[in-house]
Amino acid sequence: MTRNEILDWLLTGDAGRLEELWRRADAVRRENVGDDVHLRGLIEISNHCVRRCAYCGINADNRAVGRYRMTAGEILDSARKAYELGYGTVVMQAGEDYGLETEFVSVIVRSIKAETGLAVTLSLGERPAEDLAAWREAGADRYLIRFETSNPRLYRMIHPDLPGRRSDRFAVLRTLRRLGYEVGSGVMIGIPGQTYDDLADDIEAFRDFKLDMIGVGPYIPHPGTPLGAAAGELAAPEGRQVPATELMTYKTVALARIACPRANIPSTTALATLNKASGRELGLQRGANVIMPNLTPVKYRAMYEIYPAKACIYETSDECGACVKRRIVSVGRTVGSGPGNSRNRPVAAPRGDSAQGKGSHP
Ligand code: SAH
């Protein structure tokens, strides 16, 4: 797919033509990753964060949010729940929280692997390479860290550096590759100031980086954040700003599938937030093959408010499990079993380990 084709799809509003994009993405998905939908149970283990990301509701400056950090026992109980519900993977996500000490996370990873054998994915922010190496050594299989936007100027605006430490998420992705993780990244769609050209670059970066996992969702303004409070002022000029819509998210999911046929691509919670009735299903029918049901204890869920009115914050883990399985079957798909790796699928062509993503935040 050429860059012009990508841009053309991003810009079209023709519903009839878009049917062709949905069909193509669905066919590529079926041929390359089959009908199984893999379930990754999401445990939001802490909402403490040292970062000041302008888009994120749990950024360090938001004093309105109550903070929590799960205990090792609570995390292990949630992982046991994942096992009981038949999920193949647990994902531990958090703010960039150095209160989650390196060894604490290592011990938990080892315990989960020893007790449940589940695949373990981490999403704990821009931790130093030594932490990433220790967790890989402890048995972690995958790491998720979105580059959020490949436009370096926009990235710097929404994602301030820590004092004395330049943020470079592409460098983190290369480190993760070198350490042998399956590597996942992605972007938000419709960030104020994000143009169609930027989003086309993002999709090309997915392909250049040969990502194993790609997560994309609409940007949802949080009023307690600088970006959410700034409202429309930061938007790109009329006609160039990417809208943060459901449709633009489906387009990006579909184009990501065509660009990276074998990747694991979730139908995300942010998408379900825009369309609670059928967002998950439409994502699955337009390129996605993964769902990440929430396993966070209900008493903490509302506190992991990265954006407002997040879907699935009142349901229990059992209810989320039953709900997603029902949705998967309703669109004629099957619930995946086993870890659902991207690299080691039986029919997978060998994947190179080339990590020379061309994009970089300078
Ligand atoms: N601290 C980890 C996890 C962050 S939450 C990290 O930074 O990688 C996971 C993702 O939620 C982020 O990468 C971002 O893409 C998304 N997110 C955060 N705030 C959002 C918002 N207001 N709207 C939509 N998505 C958001």
Q: What is the pLDDT of residues 222-243, one digit of tens each?
A: 999 999 998 778 999 989 999 9
Check whether 361 has a pLDDT greater than 50: no
- pLDDT for 342: 83
Specify the pLDDT at position 339.
Answer: 85
Atom 25 of ligand 1 has which residue's CA nearest to it?
A: 219
pLDDT of residue 233: 84
Mean pLDDT of 124-151: 98
Q: Could you tell me the end-to-end alpha-carbon distance of the chain, in angstroms, rounded to an integer?
A: 27
Beta-carbon contacts of residue 119 (< 8 Å; ≥ 6 apart): 88, 89, 90, 141, 142, 339, 340, 341
CA of 9 to the centre of ligand 1 (A): 25
Atom of ligand 1 nearest to the CA of 144: 8
Q: Which of 40, 44, 45, 56 to probe ligand 1 with, by most ligand atoms within 8 A of CB?
A: 56
Region 40-60: mean pLDDT is 98
CA angle 273, 278, 282 (to 5 degrees): 105
Return the residue whose CA atom lies nearest to atom 2 of ligand 1.
125
Residue 344: its pLDDT value, please?
64
pLDDT, position 135: 98
Q: How far is the CA of 288 from the centre of ligand 1 (A)?
A: 19
Residue 25 has pLDDT above 50, yes or no: yes
pLDDT (average), residues 249-260: 98
Does the pLDDT value for residue 194 go beyond 60? yes
Tell me the pLDDT of the chain averaged across its residues. Answer: 93
211 pLDDT above the threshold of 60: yes
- Please return the burial class of 244, using the count of CB atoms within 10 Å of its CB with bins 0-12, 13-18 and 19+: buried
Q: What pLDDT is recorded for position 230?
A: 87
Say yes or no to pLDDT of 62 above 50. Answer: yes
Per-residue confidence (pLDDT) for residue 353, from 0 to 100: 40
Q: Which residues lie below 8 Å from residue 64, measured CB to CB, with a gap of 6+?
A: 224
**Residue 304 CB–ligand 1 contact under 6 Å:** no
pLDDT surpassing 80 at residue 315:
yes
326 vs 73, 85, 215, 295, 335, CA distance in Å? 30, 13, 22, 17, 10
Ligand 1 pocket check for 202: Cβ under 6 Å: no
Checking if the pLDDT of 51 tops 90, the result is yes
Helix spans in the chain (H): 3-11, 15-33, 72-84, 102-116, 129-138, 152-158, 169-178, 196-209, 226-230, 246-259, 269-274, 279-285, 298-301, 317-330
3-class SS letters over 168-221: CHHHHHHHHHHCCCEEEEEEEECCCCCEHHHHHHHHHHHHHHCCCEEEEEECCC
Answer yes or no: is the C-beta of 96 below 6 A from any ligand 1 atom: yes
Q: Say yes or no to pLDDT of 362 above 70.
A: no
Give the pLDDT score at 232.
Answer: 77
DSSP-based helix, strand, coil % in the chain, nearest 5: 40, 15, 45
Cβ–ligand 1 distance for 143 under 6 Å, the answer no
C-alpha 40/C-alpha 18 separation (Å) is: 29
Instruction: Give pLDDT, residue 11.
Output: 98
Q: Report the pLDDT averaged over residues 142-167.
A: 96
CA distance linking residue 222 with residue 59, whole number of Å: 11
The token pair at 271 is 């998408």
Ligand 1 centre distance from Cα of residue 355 (Å): 23
Q: Is the pTM of this model over 0.85?
A: yes
